Structure 1
């Protein structure tokens, strides 16, 4: 967008935001029957000043749009403040402490010179003429000898091999595979994995962890969940009841819908450096040590690069290639109540990932605790009395992506319990959980089952147990629930069914879309669980992770038919707060029926990153503007209605009908008949980002519709690949 055009749009929005509250704008596919869902403001202009009262003190005095604030945050566990080095952009953080390294227990006494023997065997394996896949699996079996006899030597061996075969730079090899970073974790996986005949652990490690150089190592077919398995899984209760009352809640005092905020992937960067390189070619951008190799050699001490050596300046409010600065986080939280017509939302769902994307060597337990503490404190103060229900994201641990299963031997299942314990402590201290509920979160890897309102149960689970980047998932790969999380979910759903409750399932990593993020076996089991309990018990499913506005459908009988009348559930992937990788920050306010707990509509708001450079001269903060209503944008099915298995009168979705799975399934039918709807969806996917690629050719259109209809990894992988994301 040109600067002049950008300013014109910005000033127009400012004028709109400061006028009296307005009804939502009328979209091109307006459904007139949507009237009556409440008065809300269509835009909000954040102030330029940082809300300093949120924190009691700061390591630096917050100045107007020149430097990000560094709040002083007290750790509730230790009643001491976190050190400034965690957030000071001019000093590299210390990273994980050596004490954070956790090794497997040796299985016996090490044989003499075992490291030299393993080194020689690996050299012979890598120099052989065998296929890459064979080399990889043979190398794993060899390395396992060292991991089981002398596990503390694994990090050094990994560093040595990394350097020898130029897998990364020498410095990166040493930093990445240090014992307290990834080295000791890989020692555990090598020790505990099963590399015997018939096991699939080696295939998973070679395909997912080692990567593209072993592309001949394909993943095995998903495990078949036969009738006997499913009968046992559902404890002999595989057949749902024929009658079920969905009107289980109590109407609000004014008979209005509940207002529920859904936000995700905040990824606050406490070391965001204003005036630095925002389009870097090293590590994380918008940092004091960030540089673009076309203009700088990178050989400099941390500090301000000369302007001539910066390709894009990092601005106070954020940039497309960077995670979220504190200023943007606070502006978005400030916007919620005004955008909800001046009323606090009734509750909030946050679907994970508060911690910054960073190199593994800079992510420590203290960084995770500091981020969670500061953000939860801010959310409680900014959003008011409504409870907040959080899911743990893959970046909400140290190391990132990792969650250790309770079934690991030698007590190694407890190595990340500091994380679950800290989250439980925080949620209780913020007043969102009572002590019993907090104890439950400690027991289930930050998962829980709570009832915030009559008839509504929220069940959160740790979805790292189906995330492909969690290396602990490379152990017992044929077991779809080695962690026990899906057992916990299923039992909670069985109890909810007996109590006649509606359930929202909350997690972070999606189960399907294009199949590139989750693993096959656990998401295949999750799909069968949804088929069993939807739509009567499961009202909705909420995820995040992708940073994009997406949805997934779940159909009866593993999607053997994708007709609208076979749709059973929908999962919503909320767009991100972080603009990282070229999307505009967003928040979503859902209108939820207070008795059925079904979403009646949601309203998407966003702010345009291209306007941020001009904000200092305008003396105000980001403008959060209205993007779309799901009902308005998608509720017209006239092109496909005649051929649908679930026709609606006049082809328009009824005003009193929820946006349930049938609604979204009919949307996919309409997209087949009206392909331009897929391009409109794509615009919303990146929140009107100028960086988003278009989706207008038939190959892209059909691929995206297929993703929408794929609620598990095996189904998503059947779709044409390459069109899943609008990020770059």
Structure 2
């Protein structure tokens, strides 16, 4: 098989790669292999960089150039994979294809001290077919050089039994028997958060020792504000201890200093995470409320530059996040997923059966160890999670099955998702999901699905299509709810059984997903958390209660703790006429989305909730930034979202 691929590439590339001075005269593949062994690395790198650079001098389109680059890179990856990172990094910088820093982070080889992805890029090249859907997909999403390719028309329906009449109906909820579940998401702990550092930064991650504003502070009036830059504040036994105030403006370069509990342009300092968790614990104590369990929908690591994101930082962030949850929530079991930031390198995840499993198995093992140590998973469940890192399931004491999926499988930035991309399930994740759902359906068991990245914008089209097909098949009888994080906004997405704008009717609404708000304020949101009241018979959500803090009020309040307040409940907040005994299902959210589409008032209400009334909420009566909300809320897949947006004249022009 490998020899066949190499021979095919040789025939395709003999007029380009094999015309280079280093490899000229190689008339057969074996001749080339023999000759290449005689050249030192520098000469091979120079030859391949020259070939890549020469593409821009011909009359080919950007798309053709991108695909040819992949083909050239593939030939190198099969022969000398270790040279792919230096070749593409040098080509990228010398042609100014991207900024120098982006060239480095994208193509330089992986190290334990940086989250560069060049080694993963080389792995992808060795597996993919550049001249197929693989190359078109990569060149569209990764380099914006090709048109978006048509999503393959494949199906997974052969993997499940026919849908019986009873499966088209959700079970009826009980009268008044409910319990409570906590949902938290997107901590993004900024471990190097530095009180007094720059928040109005133009260089590096804000609020860090590396953050800077490239402009002078001349005539800037930040010094007139009484900023709460209290250094070394901390919690002890849930009590807040305020540290000393520092004179941040002794540093003449500071425009707007980082205060104790965070900023809208920064990720969350650990003290903000602890404040959030303390507010949850205090709420439970004050209101005599208990949570049966909690779900955490991913992202513990911050958004710092890949050059500053190390393996140790990734692991430390994950350990601290779960340690703090355990410390504050006590015996409440937490069922979790990994976010795109919770991997090293960032956003990457390989299939288990093609030689790259050892890159990523550490994370599944670490998570399984932590979750078992904290009592969230039993020994058998922990072993299952450890050995199946694209997804695992767990059954709660009440009988609800929770299926946790690793969304890097469908993430647009994951290099391993771009080979054999026309096949519906290279990771085996959908097969696992379907097997779990078929089993649950056979015994009338209800299921929750939790994942990090929703399928409507940053997912690859084919996995999104497959997931939507699975959800439609097993809803509303078996799948009770779906929960995501990632966007940092309080949102939802509806799945309709009939595609297209005309299909967005109340009769066609078959499922929906909750998208949780974030603890991190990055970017321009107020920190927030929520809990659900759950029907004990059907595990449907009867209501959701959202709590938040106005972060801007902590900037000038003498360093006091944030004040956590009730924001709104999902049932009452949108003022929809809805039966008290009915769960908040796809029909309910269709009614909400319809109001948002028809009314500026409701669109504004949605934006207020999405960003938790932050100072940066747009004015929907004046701003076009609200125009795509309906498309987002009523599109369950990336193809549906793109098609919807294309029909909006101002959005597509």
1:365-421, Cα deviation, whole Å (9 max, x unpaired): 22222111111111112112221010110000111111111232xx22331111111
Contact in 1 for aligned 2:174/2:538 (Cα 8 Å)? no
1:163-218, Cα deviation, whole Å (9 max, x unpaired): 2022455566456643223221111112111124xx1111122122223xx2xx11
Task: Indicate which of 513, 518, 524 corresponds to 2:465.
Answer: 524
Relative to structure 1, the CA distance from residue 305 to residue 172 in structure 2 (aligned partners, 3 Å threshold; closer, same or farther) is: farther
Matches within 5 A, 1:110-125: 110=36, 112-113=38-39, 114-125=44-55
Relative to structure 1, the CA distance from residue 722 to residue 161 in structure 2 (aligned partners, 3 Å threshold; closer, same or farther) is: farther
In the alignment, which residue of structure 1 is the partner of 2:238?
none
Matches within 5 A, 1:157-176: 157-168=87-98, 170=100, 173-174=103-104
Q: Which moved more, 1:154-163 or 1:388-397?
A: 154-163
Shift of 1:230: 3.7
Shift of 1:126: 2.1
Relative to structure 1, the CA distance from residue 722 to residue 150 in structure 2 (aligned partners, 3 Å threshold; closer, same or farther) is: farther
Secondary structure of the 2:522 match is coil
Secondary structure of the 1:124 match is helix
1:5-63, Cα deviation, whole Å (9 max, x unpaired): xxxxxxxxxxxxxxxxxxxxxxxxxxxxxxxxxxxxxxxxxxxxxxxxxxxxxxxxxxx
1:529-583, Cα deviation, whole Å (9 max, x unpaired): 1110000101110000001111001122446622112211110000111001111
Task: Indicate which of 163, 170, 180 corresponds to 1:239.
Answer: 163
Contact in 1 for aligned 2:48/2:87 (Cα 8 Å)? no
Shift of 1:596: 1.1
Q: Which moved more, 1:128-137 or 1:316-325?
A: 128-137
Task: Indicate which of 607, 630, 635 corresponds to 2:549.
Answer: 607
Contact in 2 for aligned 1:267/1:353 (Cα 8 Å)? yes
In the alignment, which residue of structure 1 is the partner of 2:603?
678
Task: Indicate which of 447, 450, 470 corresponds to 2:414.
Answer: 470
* Paired residues, number: 576
Matches within 5 A, 1:346-495: 346-408=292-354, 411-445=355-389, 447-495=391-439
Relative to structure 1, the CA distance from residue 316 to residue 130 in structure 2 (aligned partners, 3 Å threshold; closer, same or farther) is: same
In the alignment, which residue of structure 2 is the partner of 1:581?
523
Shift of 1:364: 2.5
Matches within 5 A, 1:524-563: 524-558=465-499, 561-563=503-505
Give the root-mean-square deviation of aligned CA atoms.
2.6
Shift of 1:434: 0.9
Shift of 1:343: 3.0
Task: Indicate which of 629, 654, 659 corresponds to 2:584.
Answer: 659
Relative to structure 1, the CA distance from residue 312 to residue 167 in structure 2 (aligned partners, 3 Å threshold; closer, same or farther) is: farther
1:626-675, Cα deviation, whole Å (9 max, x unpaired): 11111111242xxxxxxxxxxxxxxx211111111111112223334434
User: How many Å separate the matches in 2 of 1:683 and 1:291?
Assistant: 31
In the alignment, which residue of structure 2 is the partner of 1:339?
283
User: How many Å separate the matches in 1 of 2:203 and 2:452?
Assistant: 27
In the alignment, which residue of structure 2 is the partner of 1:257?
178
Shift of 1:142: 1.2
Secondary structure of the 1:542 match is strand
Contact in 2 for aligned 1:528/1:558 (Cα 8 Å)? no
Shift of 1:436: 1.2
User: How many Å separate the matches in 2 of 1:269 and 1:145?
Assistant: 40
Shift of 1:680: 0.5
Task: Indicate which of 140, 149, 153 corresponds to 1:220.
Answer: 149
Contact in 1 for aligned 2:390/2:427 (Cα 8 Å)? no
Relative to structure 1, the CA distance from residue 573 to residue 170 in structure 2 (aligned partners, 3 Å threshold; closer, same or farther) is: closer
Q: Note the residue ranges of structure 1 that are not aligned, 5 or more in a row.
A: 1-106, 298-302, 637-651, 724-728
Shift of 1:362: 2.4
Q: Which moved more, 1:441-450 or 1:326-335?
A: 441-450
User: How many Å separate the matches in 1 of 2:447 and 2:283?
Assistant: 27
Matches within 5 A, 1:495-534: 495-512=439-456, 515=457, 517-534=458-475
Q: Does structure 1 residue 268 correspond to structure 2 residue 268?
A: no
User: How many Å separate the matches in 1 of 2:513 and 2:297?
Assistant: 12
Shift of 1:476: 1.3
In the alignment, which residue of structure 1 is the partner of 2:567?
627
Q: Does structure 1 residue 596 correspond to structure 2 residue 546?
A: no
Shift of 1:119: 2.7
Shift of 1:719: 1.9
Contact in 2 for aligned 1:392/1:446 (Cα 8 Å)? no
User: How many Å separate the matches in 2 of 1:720 and 1:698?
Assistant: 17
Contact in 2 for aligned 1:268/1:355 (Cα 8 Å)? yes
For normalisation by structure 2, the TM-score amounts to 0.83
User: How many Å separate the matches in 1 of 2:412 and 2:647?
Assistant: 18
Contact in 2 for aligned 1:155/1:178 (Cα 8 Å)? yes
Shift of 1:219: 1.7
Q: Note the residue ranges of structure 2 that are not aligned, 5 or more in a row.
A: 1-31, 111-115, 219-246, 649-653
Contact in 1 for aligned 2:190/2:270 (Cα 8 Å)? yes
Shift of 1:590: 1.0
1:93-113, Cα deviation, whole Å (9 max, x unpaired): xxxxxxxxxxxxxx9774554
User: How many Å separate the matches in 1 of 2:56 and 2:384?
Assistant: 47
Shift of 1:117: 3.6
User: How many Å separate the matches in 2 of 1:220 and 1:348?
Assistant: 40
User: How many Å separate the matches in 2 of 1:422 and 1:451?
Assistant: 21
Secondary structure of the 1:258 match is strand
User: How many Å separate the matches in 2 of 1:141 and 1:249?
Assistant: 56
Q: Which moved more, 1:305-314 or 1:475-484?
A: 305-314
Q: Does structure 1 residue 280 correspond to structure 2 residue 210?
A: no
Structure with the larger RCO, 1 or 2 (CA within 8 Å, 6+ apart): 1
Shift of 1:453: 2.9
Contact in 1 for aligned 2:390/2:429 (Cα 8 Å)? no
Relative to structure 1, the CA distance from residue 335 to residue 698 in structure 2 (aligned partners, 3 Å threshold; closer, same or farther) is: closer
Relative to structure 1, the CA distance from residue 261 to residue 309 in structure 2 (aligned partners, 3 Å threshold; closer, same or farther) is: same
Contact in 2 for aligned 1:264/1:353 (Cα 8 Å)? yes
Q: Which moved more, 1:358-367 or 1:708-717?
A: 358-367
In the alignment, which residue of structure 2 is the partner of 1:210?
143
User: How many Å separate the matches in 2 of 1:698 and 1:612?
Assistant: 28
